[in-house]
Chain A
Amino acid sequence: MAESLTSRPTLAAADAQQAHAHIDADTNTGISNTKLGMWLFLASECLLFGGLITTYLLYKHPLEGPTPHEIFDIPFTSTSSFVLLMSSLTMVLAVSAIERGEHQRMRVWIGATAALGATFIAGQIYEFTVFVREGLGFTTSRFSSAFYTLTGFHGIHVTIGIIMLVSLVLLSLRGKIPEHRAETVEIVGLYWHFVDVVWVVIFAVVYLIPS
Chain B
Amino acid sequence: MTVTSHDNVPTTVLDGAVKDYSRDKVYVMTALFLAVLTIIEVFTYAAPDFPVWADELLVPVLMILMAVKFFTIVYVFMHLKFDKPILTKLFYMGLVLAVLVYIAMLSTFRIWHNGQHG
Contact = CB atoms under 8 A, between A and B. Distances in A.
B50 interface: no
B45 A208 contact: yes
A107 interface: no
A39 B17 contact: no
A96 B106 contact: no
Contacts of B77: 88-89, 91-92, 189, 193, 196
A201 B41 CA distance: 12
Interface in B59-95: 59, 62-63, 65-66, 69-70, 73-74, 76-79, 83-84, 86-87, 90-91, 93-95
Contacts of A211: 116
Contacts of A46: 91, 94-95, 97-98
B34 A85 contact: yes
Contacts of A89: 27-28, 30-31, 77
Contacts, number: 143
Given A29-B84, A31-B84, A204-B63, A43 B91 contact: yes
Contact of A96 (B27, B84, B116): B27
B23 A96 contact: yes
Main secondary structure of the interface of B (DSSP, over half): helix
Interface residues on A, range: 35 or more
A197 B73 contact: yes
A143 to B, nearest CB: 12
Interface string A31-48: 100011001101111110
B73 A193 contact: yes
A54 B106 contact: yes
Contact of B14 (A183, A193, A201): A183
A82 B14 CA distance: 28
A200 B95 contact: no
Contacts of B102: 50-51, 53-54
Interface string B4-44: 00000000111001010101100110110011001001101
13 contacts: A29-B86, A40-B90, A43-B91, A43-B95, A50-B98, A50-B102, A58-B106, A78-B45, A82-B35, A85-B34, A96-B23, A193-B77, A210-B58
Interface of A: 29-31, 35-36, 39-40, 42-47, 49-51, 53-54, 57-58, 60-61, 74-75, 78, 81-82, 85-86, 88-89, 91-93, 95-96, 99-100, 179-180, 182-183, 186, 189-190, 193-194, 196-197, 200-201, 203-205, 208-211
